[in-house]
Structure 1
Amino acid sequence: MIKYTFTSFGILIILFWLFSIPQEASAQSISGYVMNQENEPVPFVNIYVKELETGTSTDSKGRYFLTLEPGDFEIIFSSIGYVTKTINVVIGDGEITKNVWLESASLELDQIVVKAKRKDPAYEIIQQVIDRKKHFLTQVKSAKSEVYVKATEEIEKKRKTPKQEKDESIGISLEGEPIDPFEEEKKKQTEKVPELNMVEMRLTLNYEYPENYKEERSAFKAYGNQSGLFIPRFSEADFNFYRNLVDLKGIAEVPIISPVSRTAILSYKYKLEEVLNEDGILVYKIKVIPRKKGNSTCHGYLYINDGTWNINRLDLSFEKGGLKFYDAFRLKQDYKQIEDSLWIPYRQAFFYETKQGRSKIFKGNTVLHYADYQKDYEFPDKFFGNEVAITTKEAYKRDSSYWNSTRPEPLTTKQQEVVAYRDSVEAVHNSKAYQDSIQAKYNKVTIGEILYHGVGFRNNTKKSNIYISSLLSIINFEVIGGFRFGPFMSYFRRWESGRMMFTSGSLNIGVKNVDLQGRGHVWFRYDPHRLADLTFSAGRSFYSVNSFDAYLNQLKISNYILTDRVFLSHRIELFNGFYLFTGFDFSDRRSIENYETSTILNKVIDETDPLVFENYSALITELRFSYTPAQKFMTEPNRKVVLGSKYPTISITHRKGWNGPFSSDIDFDYVDLSLKQDLILGIFGNSKYTVRAGKFINTKELKFVDFKRFRQSDPYLYSDPLHSFQSLDTSLVATDLFFEVHHIHHFNGALINNVPIIKKLKLRAVAGGGFLWIKQSDYRHEELFAGVERVIKLGPRRRLRVGVFGVVAESNHTGLTTDFKISFDLIDTWKKEWSY
Structure 2
Amino acid sequence: MRRYLLLLMLSTVGMLAHAQQFMLSGRITGNKGEPVSFTSVYIRNSTYGTTANEQGQYQFKLSPGNYNIVYRFVGYREKVVPVTIADHDERLNVKLDEEIFSKEDTATYNRKTDRGMAIMQQVLSNRERHMNEFKTYTCQVYIKGVQRLTKAPKSLMSSPVIKQLDLDSAGRGILYQSESISQFNLQRPDKFKEITIASKNTGGSPAFSYNKASDLQLNIYQNIFYVEGLRSRGFVSPVADNAFQYYRYKLDGTTVSNNRTIHKIAVLPKSNRSSTFRGFLYIVDGDWRVYSADLYLTEENDNINLIDTLSISQQYIPVKDSVWLPASIQYDYKGSVLGFKFAGYYVGIYNNYKIDQEFPAGFFNGEVLKVDTAANSKPSGYWDATRPVPLTPQETRDYHKKDSLFAIQHSDPYLDSVQLENNKFSPLSYTIFGYEAKNRKTKESFYVAPLYLSFFYNTVEGWGIDERVKYTKKYDDLRQFSIEPVFHYGFSSKLVSPNVHAEYLFDPWKRGRIFTNFGAEVMDLNNVGTRSLWFNTLSSLLYENNYVKYYRNQYGNVGYERELANGILWTSSLEYSSRRQLYNTSYQHIFDSKVREYTSNNPLEPGAPADDKSFLFPEHQALTFKTSLEFTFGQRYITRPDGRTFVPSRYPKVVLNYRKGINGAFGSDVNYDFVSIDISQDHIPVGLTGYSSFKISAGDFLNRRNVYFMDYNHFLGNQGTTFDPTYVGSFHFLPFYEFSTNAAFLEAHYQHNFAGALFSRIPFMRKLKLEEIVGANYLTEKFNQNYSELYVGIQRLFFRVDYGISFRGDKKYIQGFRIFYGIR
The bucket for the TM-score relative to the shorter chain is 0.7 to 0.9
> Given the alignment of the two structures, is residue 128 of structure 1 paired with residue 126 of structure 2, yes or no?
no
**How much does 1:492 deviate?**
2.5
Distance 1:271 1:241 in 2: 18
Secondary structure in structure 1 of the residue aligned to 2:730: coil
Q: Deviations over 1:745-784 (max 9, x none)?
A: 223455676566665664554333222211123x222333
> Given the alignment of the two structures, is residue 246 of structure 1 paired with residue 258 of structure 2, yes or no?
no
| Equivalence for 2:707 | 702
Q: Deviations over 1:49-101 (max 9, x none)?
A: x9997465347889xxxxxxxxxxxxxxxxxxxxxxxxxxxxxxxxxxxxxxx
| Equivalence for 1:196 | 175
For residue 567 of structure 1, the aligned residue among 553, 557, 577 is 557
| Equivalence for 1:368 | 348
5+ residue gaps, structure 1: 1-47, 63-113, 169-180, 792-798, 828-834
**How much does 1:701 deviate?**
1.7
**How much does 1:610 deviate?**
6.0
**How much does 1:623 deviate?**
0.7
- Higher relative contact order, structure no. (Cα contacts within 8 Å, ≥ 6 residues apart): 2
**How much does 1:418 deviate?**
2.9
Q: Residues 708, 341 of structure 1: CA spacing in aligned structure 2 closer, same or farther, 3 A cutoff? A: closer
| Equivalence for 2:800 | 802
> Given the alignment of the two structures, is residue 117 of structure 1 paired with residue 112 of structure 2, yes or no?
yes
Q: Which amino acid aligns with 2:630?
A: S
Check conservation: 1:193, 1:417, Cα contact below 8 A. Answer: no
| Equivalence for 1:464 | 444
**How much does 1:743 deviate?**
1.1
Q: Residues 262, 566 of structure 1: CA spacing in aligned structure 2 closer, same or farther, 3 A cutoff? A: same
Distance 1:594 1:128 in 2: 77
Q: Residues 185, 534 of structure 1: CA spacing in aligned structure 2 closer, same or farther, 3 A cutoff? A: closer
Distance 1:254 1:689 in 2: 18
| Equivalence for 1:625 | 629
Q: Structure 2 matches for 1:271-282, cutoff 5 A? A: 271-276=250-255, 278-279=257-258, 281-282=260-261
For residue 657 of structure 2, the aligned residue among 649, 653, 657 is 653
Check conservation: 2:176, 2:206, Cα contact below 8 A. Answer: no
Q: Which amino acid aligns with 1:349?
A: Q
Distance 1:738 1:461 in 2: 53
Secondary structure in structure 2 of the residue aligned to 1:420: helix
Q: Structure 2 matches for 1:314-713, cutoff 5 A? A: 314-318=293-297, 320=299, 323=304, 326=307, 328-340=309-321, 342-353=323-334, 355-356=336-337, 358-361=338-341, 363-445=343-425, 455-468=435-448, 474-485=454-465, 487-546=467-526, 548-549=529-530, 555-556=545-546, 559-593=549-583, 595-596=585-586, 598=588, 600=590, 603=593, 605-607=597-599, 608-609=610-611, 612=615, 613-677=617-681, 678-713=683-718
Distance 1:197 1:285 in 2: 35
RMSD over aligned CA atoms reads 3.7
Q: Structure 2 matches for 1:58-207, cutoff 5 A? A: 58=104, 117-118=112-113, 120-155=114-149, 158-160=152-154, 189=166, 196-207=175-186
| Equivalence for 1:289 | 268
Distance 1:468 1:52 in 2: 66
Q: Which amino acid aligns with 1:617?
A: Q
Q: Structure 2 matches for 1:690-769, cutoff 5 A? A: 690-717=695-722, 719-720=724-725, 722-728=728-734, 731-750=738-757, 762-769=769-776
**How much does 1:381 deviate?**
3.8
| Equivalence for 2:37 | none
**How much does 1:618 deviate?**
2.2
Check conservation: 1:237, 1:248, Cα contact below 8 A. Answer: no
**How much does 1:713 deviate?**
4.0
Check conservation: 1:294, 1:319, Cα contact below 8 A. Answer: no
Question: TM-score by structure 2 length?
Answer: 0.76
**How much does 1:371 deviate?**
1.0
Secondary structure in structure 1 of the residue aligned to 2:178: strand
Check conservation: 1:524, 1:535, Cα contact below 8 A. Answer: yes
Distance 1:715 1:471 in 2: 26
**How much does 1:472 deviate?**
6.7
**How much does 1:561 deviate?**
1.5
Distance 1:781 1:280 in 2: 70
Q: Which amino acid aligns with 1:57?
A: K
Distance 1:815 1:587 in 2: 40
How many residues are paired up? 699
Q: Residues 509, 686 of structure 1: CA spacing in aligned structure 2 closer, same or farther, 3 A cutoff? A: closer
Distance 1:342 1:519 in 2: 65
Check conservation: 2:144, 2:179, Cα contact below 8 A. Answer: yes
For residue 247 of structure 2, the aligned residue among 268, 275, 282 is 268
Q: Residues 821, 238 of structure 1: CA spacing in aligned structure 2 closer, same or farther, 3 A cutoff? A: farther
- Could you tell me the percent identity over the aligned residues? 25
Q: Which amino acid aligns with 1:667?
A: N
- In terms of mean alpha carbon deviation, does 252-261 or 221-230 score higher? 221-230
Secondary structure in structure 2 of the residue aligned to 1:241: coil
Q: Deviations over 1:520-548 (max 9, x none)?
A: 22233221110122332233332111263
Check conservation: 1:507, 1:518, Cα contact below 8 A. Answer: yes
Q: Deviations over 1:693-721 (max 9, x none)?
A: 11112222211222222355435445537
Distance 2:506 2:289 in 1: 52
Distance 2:679 2:262 in 1: 52
> Given the alignment of the two structures, is residue 257 of structure 1 paired with residue 236 of structure 2, yes or no?
yes
Check conservation: 1:196, 1:418, Cα contact below 8 A. Answer: no
Check conservation: 1:295, 1:319, Cα contact below 8 A. Answer: no
- In terms of mean alpha carbon deviation, does 240-249 or 399-408 score higher? 240-249
| Equivalence for 2:14 | none
Q: Residues 558, 301 of structure 1: CA spacing in aligned structure 2 closer, same or farther, 3 A cutoff? A: closer
**How much does 1:460 deviate?**
1.4
Distance 1:343 1:557 in 2: 64
Check conservation: 2:309, 2:334, Cα contact below 8 A. Answer: yes
> Given the alignment of the two structures, is residue 300 of structure 1 paired with residue 298 of structure 2, yes or no?
no
Distance 1:59 1:447 in 2: 76
Secondary structure in structure 1 of the residue aligned to 2:381: helix
Q: Deviations over 1:158-199 (max 9, x none)?
A: 3216xx98xx7xxxxxxxxxxxx8x99766748989962333
Check conservation: 1:145, 1:371, Cα contact below 8 A. Answer: yes
Q: Deviations over 1:646-671 (max 9, x none)?
A: 22221111111222333322222211
Secondary structure in structure 1 of the residue aligned to 2:154: coil
Q: Which amino acid aligns with 2:638?
A: M
- In terms of mean alpha carbon deviation, does 305-314 or 712-721 score higher? 712-721
Q: Which amino acid aligns with 1:673?
A: I
Check conservation: 1:676, 1:691, Cα contact below 8 A. Answer: yes
Distance 1:138 1:184 in 2: 52
Q: Residues 438, 135 of structure 1: CA spacing in aligned structure 2 closer, same or farther, 3 A cutoff? A: same
Secondary structure in structure 2 of the residue aligned to 1:466: strand
Q: Residues 375, 591 of structure 1: CA spacing in aligned structure 2 closer, same or farther, 3 A cutoff? A: closer
Check conservation: 1:481, 1:598, Cα contact below 8 A. Answer: no
Q: Which amino acid aligns with 1:627?
A: F
Q: Which amino acid aligns with 1:401?
A: G
Q: Residues 823, 474 of structure 1: CA spacing in aligned structure 2 closer, same or farther, 3 A cutoff? A: closer
**How much does 1:672 deviate?**
0.8
> Given the alignment of the two structures, is residue 57 of structure 1 paired with residue 103 of structure 2, yes or no?
yes
Distance 2:787 2:429 in 1: 52
5+ residue gaps, structure 2: 1-76, 80-96, 600-609
Distance 1:417 1:229 in 2: 24
Distance 2:365 2:427 in 1: 56
